[in-house]
Structure 1
Amino acid sequence: MTRIPLGILDLVPVPSGATPAQAVAATLDIVRRAEAAGYHRYWFAEHHFNPGVIGSSPAVLIALAGAVTDRIRLGSGAVQLSPQDTEATIAEEYALLATAFPGRIDLGVGRSGLASGGPSGPIDAPESVTPEGLLIPEPFRFERVFDAPKFKTLARLLVRGQGGADFADQVETIVALLADGVGSGDERVGLGTSPAGVAPELRLFGSGTLTARLAGRLGLPFAANYHSAPSGVLVSIQEYRRSFVPSERLGKPHVIVSADVVAAPTSARAAELASGYPAWVRSIRSGLGAIPYPTAAEAAELDWTDAERRLVDDRVRTQFVGTPAEVVERLTTLQRATGADELVLTTITHDPEDRAASFESIAREWDARERRD
């Protein structure tokens, strides 16, 4: 996969009828298989108090994955900083991981939606299709999610008060700590856990323009979320490239783009595996939090209103579902439309074996297409 590296973003989903322990065990099996399949990175998302995903501590999941793999890069996609997070302890934590797994740790950082109210960028924009054929849907209004009663409770639990450093200050503190430290002379504070050359690689994740501009100004890699906020992917990447200033870490812009994918031997089978996805997205966007991922039969029994279908429409139509060749074709379109230097894939199915097989089949097809081109 020398053309464009592929990575994986794992939410550690809990299927209906399964336990969290089974979900973690399945993820550790998948990360081993992803390494064998040639994936470049394996990242863990951060989500809190969701019955259907396990993401309270990406660092813990990274440590578990590091213990069962040898080469694949591991990281967060992303730590969700709120004004009250202690960026110094996050830097220490990931420097410690880099010491345990040198040359393999990525620290991905993003703004917490609980604190920021969602992505920054155009609120109203018509649906469009790029010349390459990539669908850019209308923007989703995230205030629907953050106004939900459960999310207000989460904000009380996870975001204390209104004080604290803003996101840019927090990122700059992490940059400094991972480099030479903060302060000077006797006041200097540096990281003692990460020897030179094995510090984690820092990158910013975002769905809007504020994070994109910050990543550009600091000369950091930027990961744009087509999988969760497809409407903003082109604008955020454009802002990143426009704002980019070369740094010691990075001489030119480096863009990673995410996509939701499901591949299976036939298009019909892939559609069946993905049939629980609309209900799963509905649970998130209605403010209830991710439900355990339903079976196809469970999904077929659910009732829907027209408003609920509109709630998930952009996510459903931008999920890449089909045979490995069909999914790779759409990934190629995504890469051409965005100019991505890397792609990262997220897949959720009820049976973890189907999830692992989807990743493996896409990797084989991606590699085969590279040899044919």
Structure 2
Amino acid sequence: MTLSILDLAPIKSGHTAAEALHETIDLARQAERFGYRRYWLAEHHFARGVASSAPAVLIGLVAAATATIRVGSGAVQLGHQTPLSVVESFGVVDALYPDRIDLGIGRSGQRRGEIAAAAAKSAEPAEPAELAEKRSAQVVDGLLIPPPFDFAKLVKHPHFAHQASFLQQPGAQTPDFAGQIDDVLALLAGTHEVPAVPGEGARLRVWILGSSGGQSAQVAGERGLPFAANYHVSPSNVLEAVAAYRAAFKPSEALAEPYVIVSADVVVADDEDRARELAKGYDLWVRSIRTGAGAMPYPTPAEADAHVWTAEDLELVKDRVDTRFVGTPEQVAGRLRVLRRVTGADELLVTTITHDHQDRVRSYELLAEAWNRP
């Protein structure tokens, strides 16, 4: 199967983090039964609507509850941790569940610090010239590539810079991402000046996740690591990210050729109207993220209908809403095949959020059945 799952352990309105985590365990078991290839857990902080703040812990719990599916992070925010702490924590899980654990690493922690620093210098971050020039949507061989979202807007929220200070010790400085990845690889290989126990010799598969053609894609390619590009987070940059990774790729012991996963948001139901009803709530949930306040508890369709949308609200979420795949199994599978063809992805990573857990499970089941049909 060339489909995998990314789970944020969403907390629904009126529910608790404990319920969300139990649902994650149940969904992982069902995903294994449906035949999905891997099950990744995200890392998010300061969000009342997401329970996946400690991926290594949650990965261990999911691995214990399943038997064959690969389990991993999508992604560990390396800017908030040391390479040693990451390798040791994942080394513990690998020691108990060998050959099943993926260590997906992202630069978002480092990026958060850079954005916060820029915000401290300017109350109104300037829009990059290249962003201003790319304000029209494109359709590339059937795939929608929307205008880029200006993430500098997030720093306008008063909580943003304040939150960043809670993720590191006072005065801590995040090293360069490339150097951190080299440390991770050396610790795993046992060639670092300090040992990582557990961790040294662990049979982890290291991945780099990225949302643009910048340093993440470059580092993944130069070190011959597999790469995951975020169509669901930054759809405007997905083709640039994949192209940059492939251009930088050098064969390694891990990979002889580039290997790419591309992510997508999906909701599937037996009929299109039902799928669109289940998809309600996503727009409002994305708005809560894009305003800088952090993901809200995932709303019910009725709560979503009650929100009064402004033109500014609609613009804030448009790229995410327009690139979400919602419909019948055949409709969504067809659009995902376009995504795979246009990006050249070897595998797709799908994420689904609905207010009712059983609707989410059913969405993954229907998609797996449609994907596997000739």
TM-score bucket of the superposed structures, by smaller chain: over 0.9
- Asked if 2 retains the 8 angstrom alpha-carbon contact of 1:278 and 1:312, the reply is yes
| Equivalent-residue separation in structure 2 for 1:179 and 1:302 (angstroms) | 52
- 2:166 partner SS: helix
Deviation of the 1:199 alpha carbon: 1.9
Q: Unaligned regions of 5+ residues in structure 1, if any?
A: 184-188
Amino acid across the alignment from 2:94: A
Q: Matched residue pairs, number?
A: 358
Equivalent position of 1:47 in the other structure: 44
| Equivalent-residue separation in structure 2 for 1:232 and 1:121 (angstroms) | 16
Q: Indicate how the Cα distance of structure 1 residues 121 and 86 shifts in structure 2: closer, same or farther if over 3 A, else same.
A: farther
Q: Does 1:182 align with 2:192?
A: yes
Amino acid across the alignment from 1:80: Q
Query: Normalised by the size of structure 2, how large is the TM-score?
Result: 0.92
Amino acid across the alignment from 1:356: V
Q: Does 1:165 align with 2:172?
A: no
Query: Normalised by the size of structure 1, how large is the TM-score?
Result: 0.93
Q: Indicate how the Cα distance of structure 1 residues 211 and 195 shifts in structure 2: closer, same or farther if over 3 A, else same.
A: closer
Equivalent position of 1:207 in the other structure: 211
- Asked if 1 retains the 8 angstrom alpha-carbon contact of 2:187 and 2:199, the reply is no
Q: Does 1:78 align with 2:83?
A: no
Equivalent position of 2:104 in the other structure: 108
| Equivalent-residue separation in structure 1 for 2:32 and 2:115 (angstroms) | 36
| Equivalent-residue separation in structure 2 for 1:214 and 1:138 (angstroms) | 25
- 1:55 partner SS: coil
Amino acid across the alignment from 1:123: L
Q: Map 1:189-228; keep pairs closer than 5 Å.
A: 189-194=194-199, 196=201, 198-208=202-212, 209-228=214-233
Q: Indicate how the Cα distance of structure 1 residues 79 and 195 shifts in structure 2: closer, same or farther if over 3 A, else same.
A: closer
- Asked if 1 retains the 8 angstrom alpha-carbon contact of 2:228 and 2:261, the reply is yes
- For the aligned residue pairs, the C-alpha RMSD in angstroms reads 1.7
Deviation of the 1:146 alpha carbon: 2.7
Deviation of the 1:73 alpha carbon: 0.3
Q: Does 1:135 align with 2:150?
A: no
| Equivalent-residue separation in structure 2 for 1:358 and 1:253 (angstroms) | 30
Q: After alignment, is 256-265 or 208-217 more displaced?
A: 208-217
Equivalent position of 1:123 in the other structure: 131
Deviation of the 1:6 alpha carbon: 0.7
Equivalent position of 1:26 in the other structure: 23
Q: Does 1:278 align with 2:283?
A: yes
Shift >4 Å, 4+ stretches: none
Q: 2:62 aligns with which of 62, 65, 76?
A: 65
Q: Indicate how the Cα distance of structure 1 residues 122 and 100 shifts in structure 2: closer, same or farther if over 3 A, else same.
A: farther
- Asked if 2 retains the 8 angstrom alpha-carbon contact of 1:122 and 1:139, the reply is no
| Equivalent-residue separation in structure 2 for 1:355 and 1:149 (angstroms) | 34
Deviation of the 1:190 alpha carbon: 2.6
Q: Structure 1, residues 273-329: CA drift from partner, whole Å, max 9, x if none?
A: 111000000000001110111111110001111001000000000000000110000
- Asked if 2 retains the 8 angstrom alpha-carbon contact of 1:76 and 1:109, the reply is yes
- Asked if 2 retains the 8 angstrom alpha-carbon contact of 1:41 and 1:73, the reply is yes
Q: Does 1:14 align with 2:14?
A: no
- Asked if 2 retains the 8 angstrom alpha-carbon contact of 1:130 and 1:337, the reply is no
Q: Structure 1, residues 49-104: CA drift from partner, whole Å, max 9, x if none?
A: 2100112100111011111100000000000121x521111011111111111110
Amino acid across the alignment from 2:292: G
| Equivalent-residue separation in structure 2 for 1:122 and 1:271 (angstroms) | 35
Q: Does 1:93 align with 2:103?
A: no
Q: Does 1:321 align with 2:321?
A: no
- Asked if 2 retains the 8 angstrom alpha-carbon contact of 1:181 and 1:191, the reply is no
- Asked if 2 retains the 8 angstrom alpha-carbon contact of 1:99 and 1:195, the reply is no
Equivalent position of 1:241 in the other structure: 246
| Equivalent-residue separation in structure 1 for 2:129 and 2:344 (angstroms) | 20
Deviation of the 1:129 alpha carbon: 3.5
Q: Indicate how the Cα distance of structure 1 residues 116 and 205 shifts in structure 2: closer, same or farther if over 3 A, else same.
A: farther
Q: After alignment, is 173-182 or 68-77 more displaced?
A: 173-182
Q: Structure 1, residues 113-166: CA drift from partner, whole Å, max 9, x if none?
A: 422439x99524243444421000111000111331111221121144362411
Q: Unaligned regions of 5+ residues in structure 2, if any?
A: 117-127
| Equivalent-residue separation in structure 2 for 1:31 and 1:367 (angstroms) | 19
Aligned residues: percent identity?
Answer: 48
